[in-house]
Structure 1
Amino acid sequence: MADRILVLYGSYRTDRLGIRLAEYIVARLRARGAEPELIDAKRIGLPMLDRMYKEYPSGSAPLAMEELAAKIRSADAFIFVAGEYNWGVQPGLKNLTDHFLEEWFWRPAAIASYSLTRIAGARSNLAWHGVLSEMGMVVISSTLTVGPITDTLSARAQPTGQSGERLERAFGRFADDLAWWTEAAKAQRALRPPPY
C-alpha cells in the first residue's frame, strides 16, 4: 500500500512563493509511488486557535477541522513546508498545526524550508524540529532548505538553474529517509499499539 503523506503549507500571503515548493514535493512524491495530499492552511481557513479539536464535544467541531483531523489520523507521514518569518515559524502553519495534538502522534515528519534569501529558511527549519517533536512526531534528520526560492523553482514549481539542480539532488535522500521512517513506524504500529 502506498504511503499516505500530508504535505502541509501555511502561507497566507497574497503572493505566495512557498506554494512552489509544496507543489514540487507533492509531484515528486507522487512520481515515487506515494499518495501525497497538499494541506493548504489558507484554503482550510481554521480560525486563530481558541479551542483545540479535542476540546470540542464529539461531533461539534467545525467541519473543516473534523475533516482535517480524519486526514491527519489516517496519514502515514507528514512534510511541513515552512517559510521563515523574522527568524521564526510561519504563523499560518503553526496555527493549523496547534489545533491538533494526539492526531499527530507516532508518525514521522520531515521539514522543507524556504525563503527569498540563501539562508533558505534554515532558522525556521530548526525551530520546527522542537515543535514537531513536542507534538509526538519523529522528525527525520534529512531536510530540504530552499533559497532563494525564486531562483530554485519556477512559478510552475519546476526546478531552475543551479539551485534547482541542487534541490533535485537533495530530494532523493530526503524522500528515502522519510520513506524508511514511515515504513518503520507502520511496522511497529502493526506489531504493537502505541503506549498512549
Structure 2
Amino acid sequence: MSLSVAVLLGSVRQDRVGLRVARFLLRALEERGHRPTLVDPMASRLPLLDRMYKEHPPGEAPAVLEELATLYRGADAFLMVSAEYNHGIPPALKNLLDHFLEEYFWRPSAIACYSAGSYGGVRAAMQLRMTLAELGMPSIPSLLPFPRAAASLDEEGRPLDPAHPPRADRFLDELEWYAEALRDRRSRGVPY
C-alpha cells in the first residue's frame, strides 16, 4: 500500500551530510512504492518562528507555509533526518517543526539520525522523540542511526557500509506498519 511520506531534513550547513542520509532514505522509500517528499529547510527558507501557520488569517499565510501545510495534511507519516548539534536537535529542524501543529496529528514519525562520531546522533534523537510526541506525531520505537555518516554513505546517498540497507529495511517495515494502522484509524475518525 503506497504511503505519502514527508522527509524532513534538519540541517542547513553548507556541507551537510544529512543530505546523503535523506537521499538514501528517499530512494529506499521509492523502491518500496511510496511517495516521499523531501522538506529541505535550505529550500523553504522559513524565518525563525514568529507566527505559526495556524496563527495567520485564512489565505494569508506565506506561500511556503501553505505548501507545507498541504503536504503535511496529505502525509501518512513523517521521517526526520536529524543531525546532533551539541547533543541536541539542530535548530533548523526545530524551527521547521514548530511552524505547524494540527497538520501532524494522528500520524507516526520516525527518526533517522547521524553524526560524525560513533553515536550516530542518538542523543539528539531522544530529545527529538519528546518534541514529536508533543506535536502529535509520536515516533516509532526504532531509530535508524548513521554513525560516521560521511564515511558510510557517498554523496548520492548510496551505502558504503553493507549494514545500512538491511537496517533501513527493518526500520521502514516498522514505519509502514504504524503509518498504515494510523491511516486506517484516521479514515474512521479521530478522538476530537
TM-score interval, smaller chain: over 0.9
Q: Is the CA contact 1:107–1:182 (under 8 Å) kept in the aligned structure 2?
A: yes
Backbone CA RMSD of aligned residues: 0.9
SS where residue 12 of structure 1 aligns?
Answer: coil
Shift of 1:158: 0.8
Determine the structure 1 residue equivalent to 2:185. 188
Shift of 1:138: 2.5
Question: What amino acid is the match of 1:118?
Answer: S
- 1:66-106 per-position Cα deviation (integer Å, ceiling 9, x unaligned): 11011001100010000000000010011010000011000
- 1:3-43 per-position Cα deviation (integer Å, ceiling 9, x unaligned): 00011002111111110000100000000111111110111
Q: 1:165 aligns with which of 162, 165, 179?
A: 162
Long gaps (5+) in structure 2: none
The structure, 1 or 2, with the larger RCO (C-alpha pairs under 8 Å, 6+ apart) is 2
Segment of structure 1 superposing worse, 17-26 or 149-158: 149-158
Query: Which consecutive segments of 4 or more residues in structure 1 shift more than 4 A?
Result: none
Determine the structure 1 residue equivalent to 2:13. 13
SS where residue 165 of structure 1 aligns?
Answer: coil
For 1:142 and 1:14, the matched residues in 2 are separated by 29
For 2:13 and 2:137, the matched residues in 1 are separated by 27
For 1:169 and 1:134, the matched residues in 2 are separated by 30
For 1:90 and 1:112, the matched residues in 2 are separated by 13
User: How many residues of Structure 1 are paired with residues of Structure 2 in the alignment?
Assistant: 192
Shift of 1:129: 0.6
Q: Is the CA contact 2:72–2:104 (under 8 Å) kept in the aligned structure 1?
A: yes
- 1:110-140 per-position Cα deviation (integer Å, ceiling 9, x unaligned): 0000011111001011111100001001210
Q: Is the CA contact 1:10–1:42 (under 8 Å) kept in the aligned structure 2?
A: no
For 1:33 and 1:124, the matched residues in 2 are separated by 30
Q: Is the CA contact 1:8–1:38 (under 8 Å) kept in the aligned structure 2?
A: yes
Question: What amino acid is the match of 2:68?
Answer: L
**Percent of residue pairs identical:** 44
Long gaps (5+) in structure 1: none
- 1:138-192 per-position Cα deviation (integer Å, ceiling 9, x unaligned): 21011100010012101121111xxx2121121111000000001100111122x
SS where residue 71 of structure 1 aligns?
Answer: helix
